[in-house]
Structure 1
Amino acid sequence: MPKTTFAATDLPVTAPLHLGLPVWQDSSWASRWFGDPAARQHTLQYYARFFNSVEGNTTFYALPSQATLAKWQAAVPADFRFTFKLHQDITHNGPVGANQARLEEQLSLMRQLKDQLGMLLIQLPAHFAPSALRQLKKLLAYLADEFVLGVEVRHPEFFTKGEAEVALNRLLMRYGANRIIMDTRALFAGPAQNAMVAEARIKKPRVPVNIIATAQSPVVRFVGGDDDHINQQMLTPWVHKCQQWRQEGKSPFLFLHRPDNKDAPWLAQQFVELHNRCYPKTPLTGPMSATGQQEDLF
């Protein structure tokens, strides 16, 4: 079990916690979570009643039309914050940021969101090594004045606390970019309970969890497994860390994954319940708070 060493108190906080999932729709949610058949046609609208952010992975594969983006905007309240990954043509297919045409196409769309764009996510491939940091520097310099940025790296040299990691963190701090923290420890703990967990272990990176806030909106991507006891053990330190960040005036983003993301709302509820037990004077509202649909999953 990770040690809880973070200093946080149950004092009032003004900085928000942006809580969300990696998807905003699943065919089972209308009955299993929302308890309303109408949710099948308005999933984002229903999702946004309980979460104030989402990890937008769709833009990594394809960019939406302006009309689709406008429809998404209209479905959420003003304080909802989308995060969207840069398209793979920008980050994975060739040098990082070299596809200027695709970059400008996406930036034009992202500007349409205005204040509802919480962050642009720059997910870099595992082969992106320290020797390529100049490419990232050029991209950050181009984007940082206009957009809040999050950067995720997967190359092992960026996790050794050596020169490469120091150089990366300094670069991110220079441009006010947030280092994305990927926590897959719960997913990889113990034997795989089923085929879904085994498949998720193949797809998700297993990287060290180096906790750092390089800017004002630290990002945590937490991937739980199907063992709720282990999930609780691994989530509890993040309850305290997110509270500490907020007390420092930072606005963290926390995205919660499961091997099958149809179960992710229940992991989020678990986080909220843990938070509210630890910090009853600063409670969060959970995804099951008003639905009456909570299942006894943990």
Structure 2
Amino acid sequence: MKLHVGCAMWTLARWQGRLLPHPLPPRERLAAYATWCNAVEGNTTFYATPSRATVEMWAAQAPEDFRFLLKLPKPVTHERRLAPEVFAPDGALHSFFTAIEPLGRHAALWIQLPASFGPTDLPTLAAFLSRVPKGYRYAVEVRHPAFFDGSRGERDLEALLTEADAEWVPFDTTVLYETPPTTDAEREAWSKKPRLPRRTRALTRFPVVRYIGRDDAELTAQGWQPWADITAQWLREGRSPTVFIHTPDNADAPVLARRFHEDVRRRVPEVEALAEPMPVGPPTLF
């Protein structure tokens, strides 16, 4: 029984020399991170599609059971809004799928939609999901308030995703907004992150959760307790969840992701333990 946990990135300046060895060449950075966590979000693919050679380098560093959640390119989701023309053979979507092919089953694909993409756009989403290449898992993140108010829009989206065997990705910001920000990073997060109700229902065997806490580790851990309970239940049901732990500054995100994993293991001891992290420096005699 395996639980996947991860962060929003696999390298961060504040981790270097403290959590991960420094310096590390690009061909070793993901491998070092993968000793801490067994999943990672791929946000950079939203802004630019990597070269196939770069993705081959990622694949070479990823352990057998490692998971990537790769965000579809901005021109596909936000500029063209999943319109039929995104399937053009010379377009961004084709380039994206060509580039990520070396990851194979390591990759799940994350369709993050703009806040203006609402219930009236669901036929477009249904048509898009019917045409995307098979062999990948798809996970959809929506931010329109009408999908969170118990109305027909919410029910229709859930039915659509269930039919397509695609997951609904919750981005849980409730703890972030529970009390006023106390750090610069929290204040910046308040200006950018969506403020929506917590959603906890899984639709597939592979639920995905994105949780953001606070720059205070204890507040972050207190806030994820409902998710630890839910994740434990999913595992007992035979599901294979992936949970991403964020904080506004992400300074200790790998440590917190592992702590979440241990919280779930206390509830479900059968869950396989994570590997020991790579040592930051060489061993010493004293």
TM-score in terms of structure 2 length = 0.90
Describe the superposition over 1:226-251 as per-residue Cα deviations: whole angstroms up to 9, x where unpaired. 23332222211211211211121111
Task: Report the equivalent of 1:37.
Answer: 22
What's the secondary structure of 1:19's corresponding residue?
Answer: strand
The answer to whether the 8 Å contact 1:61/1:87 transfers is yes
| 1:81 paired residue among 41, 44, 67 | 67
Q: 2:169 matched to 1:180?
A: yes
Task: Report the equivalent of 1:53.
Answer: 39
Q: How far did 1:286 drift? A: 7.2
Q: 2:115 matched to 1:126?
A: yes
Q: How far did 1:279 drift? A: 3.7
| 2:129 paired residue among 140, 146, 149 | 140
Task: Report the equivalent of 1:115.
Answer: 105
The answer to whether the 8 Å contact 2:5/2:261 transfers is no
Task: Report the equivalent of 1:159.
Answer: 148
Amino acid at match of 1:46: A
Task: Report the equivalent of 2:246.
Answer: 257
Q: 1:286 to 1:244 in 2, by over 3 A?
A: farther
What's the secondary structure of 1:82's corresponding residue?
Answer: strand
Q: 1:149 to 1:126 in 2, by over 3 A?
A: same
Amino acid at match of 2:217: D
Instruction: Tell me the C-alpha RMSD between the 2 structures.
Output: 2.0
The whole-number CA distance in structure 2 between the counterparts of 1:243 and 1:97 is 38
The answer to whether the 8 Å contact 1:272/1:286 transfers is no
Q: 2:211 matched to 1:226?
A: no
Amino acid at match of 2:179: G
The answer to whether the 8 Å contact 1:23/1:261 transfers is no
The answer to whether the 8 Å contact 1:188/1:225 transfers is no
Describe the superposition over 1:70-96 as per-residue Cα deviations: whole angstroms up to 9, x where unpaired. 111111212212110100100000232
Q: How far did 1:109 drift? A: 1.9
Q: 1:153 to 1:250 in 2, by over 3 A?
A: same
Describe the superposition over 1:162-198 as per-residue Cα deviations: whole angstroms up to 9, x where unpaired. 1000000000000000000111112112121111101
Q: How far did 1:199 drift? A: 0.3
Q: 1:97 to 1:121 in 2, by over 3 A?
A: farther
The whole-number CA distance in structure 2 between the counterparts of 1:39 and 1:239 is 33
Describe the superposition over 1:123-168 as per-residue Cα deviations: whole angstroms up to 9, x where unpaired. 0000001001011001111126332100000000000111000000
- Segment drifting more, 22-31 vs 38-47: 38-47
| 2:12 paired residue among 23, 26, 45 | 26
Q: 1:46 to 1:106 in 2, by over 3 A?
A: same
Count of equivalent residues? 276
Q: 2:226 matched to 1:237?
A: yes
The answer to whether the 8 Å contact 1:275/1:284 transfers is no
The whole-number CA distance in structure 2 between the counterparts of 1:260 and 1:162 is 35
TM-score in terms of structure 1 length = 0.86
Q: 1:200 to 1:147 in 2, by over 3 A?
A: same
| 2:96 paired residue among 101, 106, 115 | 106
The whole-number CA distance in structure 2 between the counterparts of 1:131 and 1:282 is 41
The answer to whether the 8 Å contact 2:18/2:280 transfers is no
Task: Report the equivalent of 1:3.
Answer: none
The whole-number CA distance in structure 2 between the counterparts of 1:291 and 1:278 is 28
The whole-number CA distance in structure 2 between the counterparts of 1:142 and 1:224 is 36
What's the secondary structure of 1:187's corresponding residue?
Answer: coil
Q: How far did 1:281 drift? A: 4.9
Describe the superposition over 1:246-284 as per-residue Cα deviations: whole angstroms up to 9, x where unpaired. 121111111111101232113213313423443445463
Structure 2 gap ranges (5+): 282-286
The whole-number CA distance in structure 1 between the counterparts of 2:231 and 2:81 is 34
Task: Report the equivalent of 2:258.
Answer: 269
The answer to whether the 8 Å contact 1:21/1:256 transfers is yes
Question: Percent identity among equivalent residues?
Answer: 37
Q: 1:238 to 1:292 in 2, by over 3 A?
A: farther
What's the secondary structure of 1:262's corresponding residue?
Answer: coil
The whole-number CA distance in structure 2 between the counterparts of 1:218 and 1:264 is 20
What's the secondary structure of 1:149's corresponding residue?
Answer: strand
Amino acid at match of 2:6: G
Runs of 4+ that moved beyond 6 A: none
What's the secondary structure of 1:31's corresponding residue?
Answer: coil
| 1:217 paired residue among 171, 183, 206 | 206
What's the secondary structure of 2:245's corresponding residue?
Answer: strand
